[in-house]
Amino acid sequence: MQRYFANIDNNYFVHLNPDDEHHVSHVMRMKKNDEIEVVNEGKVFLCRIEDFNPLRIVAIHEMENDVELKEDITLLFALTKGDKIDLVIQKATELGVKKVALIESERTVVTYQDKDQEKKLARFNRIMKEASEQSHRLVVPTLLGIYNLKRLPKEAFSDLNYVAYEKDAHDTDSIFSKVTKGKSVSILIGPEGGFSEQEIARLVEQGFIRTSLGKRILRAETAAIYALSVLGYILEK
């Protein structure tokens, strides 16, 4: 069933945003009495379309739903070229991430001008909302923003903080070795050029734990998807 994030008022009326109204009426070409799922404040409701022009959708009852990872996962992803971030943000959402921050480091080659930044962040938020709907999640991940590696915000840190370091690739025993149920996890992935040794030393001083992501060197976007898949496996099994 199609799922949307929307507000449900005290009279059980559903208020979709204009893009989603368009989606219901003109993309999905729904009919009267068709049903949709609506997520409001972390709860999912079965809703029925009662009328068009104007669109009237009513919540019928709350549905059972338990798809979120119990432990919060935060992805810290270095700014990479082109539309890789679009891909990573979409896949990270499907894989259950709760927070994402984009990171500038010594070897990142991409920077956004201020004007651009707002547009990009709005685009990333839209991608996360659509991916959350598609993967039937109850929350849209939070995009923390863009930060320099030297000035990570408090919200970027979890109970366990990992940095994926390409020079540890062979040390496969290190792969998320301390991750257990009940602990939140942050994972930091470097840019195309990797991390410098000073950066790694500074991160370790701050409490980051180095991890391999397997013996092969992955592209940054694959590394993010791999890391989140492994974390999901450990935490959900």
Burial class of residue 188 (count of CB atoms within 10 Å of its CB; 0-12, 13-18, 19+): buried
Q: Is 235 left (phi over 0), alpha (psi -120 to 50) or beta?
A: alpha
Asked if 201 touches ligand SAH (CB under 6 A), the answer is: no
Candidates 135, 166, 202, 234: give the one binding ligand SAH (CB under 6 A): 166
Indicate which single residue of 17, 22, 217, 229 sits in contact with ligand SAH (rule: CB under 6 A): 217
* Distance of alpha carbon 57 from the chain centroid: 28
Burial 111-122 (b: 16+ CB within 10 A, else e): eeeeeeeeebee
Can residue 232 be called a binding residue for ligand SAH (CB under 6 A)?
A: no
Under 8 Å between Cβ of 223 and 186: no
214 contributes a contact to ligand SAH by CB under 6 A: yes
Q: How far is 124 from 101, CA to CA, in rounded Å?
A: 11
132 versus 174: smaller Cβ distance to ligand SAH: 174
Binding residue for ligand SAH, selected from 189, 228, 231, 235, defined by CB under 6 A: 189
What torsion do the CA atoms of 163, 166, 167, 172 make, to the nearest 10 degrees?
A: 80
Q: Of 102, 133, 190, 199, which lies in the binding site for ligand SAH, with binding defined by CB under 6 A? A: 190
195 binds ligand SAH per the rule CB under 6 A: yes
Q: Which stretch binds ligand SAH (CB under 6 A): 5-13, 93-101, 141-149, 191-199?
A: 191-199
Residues binding ligand SAH (CB under 6 A): 164-166, 168-169, 189-190, 193-195, 212-214, 216-218, 220, 223
